[in-house]
Structure 1
Amino acid sequence: MTVALMWEARAVEGRGADLLAWARRQNLAATPVRRETFHAPRDRVLVITWWDAPYDAALPELPEPPGELVTRPVHRWRFESAGTR
């Protein structure tokens, strides 16, 4: 089964590049099948990791970034693959 973990944060205005760099530097305790990092307007950063694991498996996640970089707590979601099409 494929499980995707999504991590999304919004940077303090003008600190999007700093948040993006911080997210890219974070190492996980295990290596996912895939990891991709995105950025969007309004200084948002999204990291998605894909794992070959059961939906409820204990998987490593990115931590909360330093408070001076973000405007709110990180949003996190977990999804189970429904296949491709």
Structure 2
Amino acid sequence: MWEARAVPGRGAELLAWAREQRLPAEPLRREFLRAPQDRVLVITWWDAEYDTELPELPEPDGELVMRAVHRWRFESVGE
């Protein structure tokens, strides 16, 4: 999971930037979400063990975001 907060008023630009990013390998699924305060969240699903090295979205240009990107990794435990 990748989450960033855009500079005020630049949330749409950050979302467009995130959608344009290509990874060296494609996940099973990628979902883009947005929230108040110009936040953008990208969730990716992979067919891999939890400790497998996986590609991640990079840090956007510092002029586009208010702070460093937050990244978290989760594993499914079923429904």
TM-score calculated relative to the size of structure 2: 0.98
CA-atom RMSD in angstroms: 0.4
Aligned amino acid, residue 12 of structure 2? A
Residue 50 of structure 2 is aligned to residue 67 of structure 1: no
Counterpart-to-counterpart distance in 1, 2:49 and 2:62:
32
Structure 2 CA distance, aligned partners of 1:25 and 1:66?
14
1:45 aligns with 2:40: yes
- Of 21, 24, 44, which aligns to 2:19? 24
Shift of 1:82: 0.6
Show structure 1 runs of 5+ residues with no match: 1-5
Identity %: 76
Q: Which runs of 5+ in 2 are unaligned?
A: none
CA distance in 2, matches of 1:45, 1:28: 18
Q: Find the aligned partners of 1:29 and 1:79 in 2 and give their Cα distance.
A: 20
Q: In the alignment, residue 47 of structure 1 is paired with which amino acid?
A: V
TM-score where L is the length of structure 1: 0.91
Write the distance in 2 (CA, Å) between the matches of 1:74 and 1:28.
17
Shift of 1:70: 0.3
Decide which structure has greater strand share.
1
Query: What's the counterpart of residue 77 of structure 2?
Result: 82
1:13 & 1:34 partners in 2: Cα distance? 29
